């Protein structure tokens, strides 16, 4: 193989045409619904609870992605939300965006032989609940980001005007939906009440702290 420089104007025009074609038709990496279903994605035990919790925490609006990491008991360990850039849907770009968010909020599990924690993705978008190529690109991106961060690839959930839906499972609900108002956190996530002051117990604690 040899390397050199093309100085002719014809070569420059050819290169410009190739770059223009690449920008107009960028490579798209996506998974079809059948491929996703065959990937053995673990089922959520209580998808409604997961969706409601992420919606209350992040209040997503169309073009917002929420990536969350769950422990084996489906307790939320970390989550992050970000707005999708206005660019053609491409799984490689989505993978990089998801990976950046995961690295920001939780350490990787690459030292484990078998992944323990699971990443799920909730994407709020316009349109109806039917699968789109954009969904396929998010699926590809989620699967690849999980591999690179040592996580199990979990459910991909869409949030549209029709409600929420776990793609590939046929499970969903009408609320929350893309235009739902913010809902309060569950009681378990509420801030614990401040300790009461006054009385004998308070006086004992005050003296112990002063020693």
Collapse the DSSP code of 163 into the 3-class scheme (helix H, G, I; strand E, B; otherwise coil) and give the result.
Answer: strand
Supply 78's token pair. Answer: 């970390």
Q: What is the pLDDT of residue 44?
A: 95
Res 28 pLDDT > 90: no
Q: How confident is the model at residue 197 (pLDDT cuts 50, 70, 90)?
A: very low
- High-pLDDT (> 90) share of the chain, %: 65
What angle do the packed helices 133-149 and 91-105 form, to 10 degrees?
A: 40
Q: Cα-Cα-Cα-Cα dihedral of 68, 119, 88, 124, to 10°?
A: -40
- Kindly indicate the confidence band of residue 13, based on its pLDDT and cuts at 50, 70 and 90: very low
Q: Which residues pair with 81 in a beta bridge?
A: 66
Sign of CA dihedral 194, 199, 200, 202: positive
Beta partners for 152?
118
The sheet with strand 64-70 has its strands ordered as 76-83, 64-70, 118-124, 152-160, 163-166, 171-173
C-alpha 67/C-alpha 99 separation (Å) is 10
Q: Which residue has the higher pLDDT, 20 or 99?
A: 99
Q: Compute how many other C-beta atoms are within 10 angstroms of the C-beta atom of residue 129.
A: 18
- Quote the pTM value: 0.75
Statement: residue 16 has pLDDT above 90: no
| Confidence band, pLDDT 50/70/90 cuts, at residue 86 | confident
Q: State the pLDDT at residue 157.
A: 98
Residue 57 banded pLDDT, cuts 50, 70, 90:
very high
CATH number of 33-183, picked from 3.20.20.70, 3.40.140.10, 3.10.310.10, 3.40.50.720: 3.40.140.10
Round to whole Å and give the CA distance between 86 and 99.
19
Instruction: Spell out the domain ranges in the chain.
Output: 33-183
Contact between 20 and 129 under an 8 Å Cβ cutoff? The reply is no
* Class of residue 156 by CB neighbours under 10 A (exposed 0-12, middle 13-18, buried 19+): buried
pLDDT of residue 184: 64
Neighbours of 96 (CB within 10 A): 15
Average pLDDT over residues 65-90: 95
Altogether, the residues listed in the chain come to a count of: 211
Tell me the mean pLDDT in the region 23-28. 52
Q: What does the pLDDT read at residue 185?
A: 55
Helices then strands, each counted (H, E), the chain: 6, 6
Give the pLDDT score at 131. 94
């Amino acid at each position: 193989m040899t390397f050199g420089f093309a100085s002719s104007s014809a070569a420059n025009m050819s290169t410009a045409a190739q770059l223009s074609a690449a920008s107009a038709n960028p490579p798209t990496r996506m998974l079809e619904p059948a491929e996703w279903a065959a990937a053995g994605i673990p089922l959520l035990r209580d998808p409604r609870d997961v969706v409601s919790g992420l919606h209350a925490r992040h209040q997503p609006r169309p073009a917002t992605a929420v990536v969350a990491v769950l422990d084996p008991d489906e307790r939320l360990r970390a989550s992050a939300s970000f707005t999708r850039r206005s660019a053609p849907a491409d799984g490689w770009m989505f993978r990089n965006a998801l990976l950046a968010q995961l690295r920001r909020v939780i350490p990787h599990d690459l030292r484990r032989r078998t992944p323990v924690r699971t990443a799920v993705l909730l994407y709020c978008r316009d349109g109806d609940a039917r699968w789109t190529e954009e969904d396929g690109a998010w699926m590809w991106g989620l699967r690849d980001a999980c591999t690179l961060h040592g996580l199990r690839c979990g459910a991909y959930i869409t949030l549209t005007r029709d409600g929420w839906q776990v793609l590939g499972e046929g499970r969903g609900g009408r609320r929350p939906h893309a235009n739902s108002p913010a809902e309060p956190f569950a009681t378990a996530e509420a801030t614990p009440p401040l300790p009461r002051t006054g009385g004998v117990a308070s006086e004992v604690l005050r003296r112990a702290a002063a020693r």
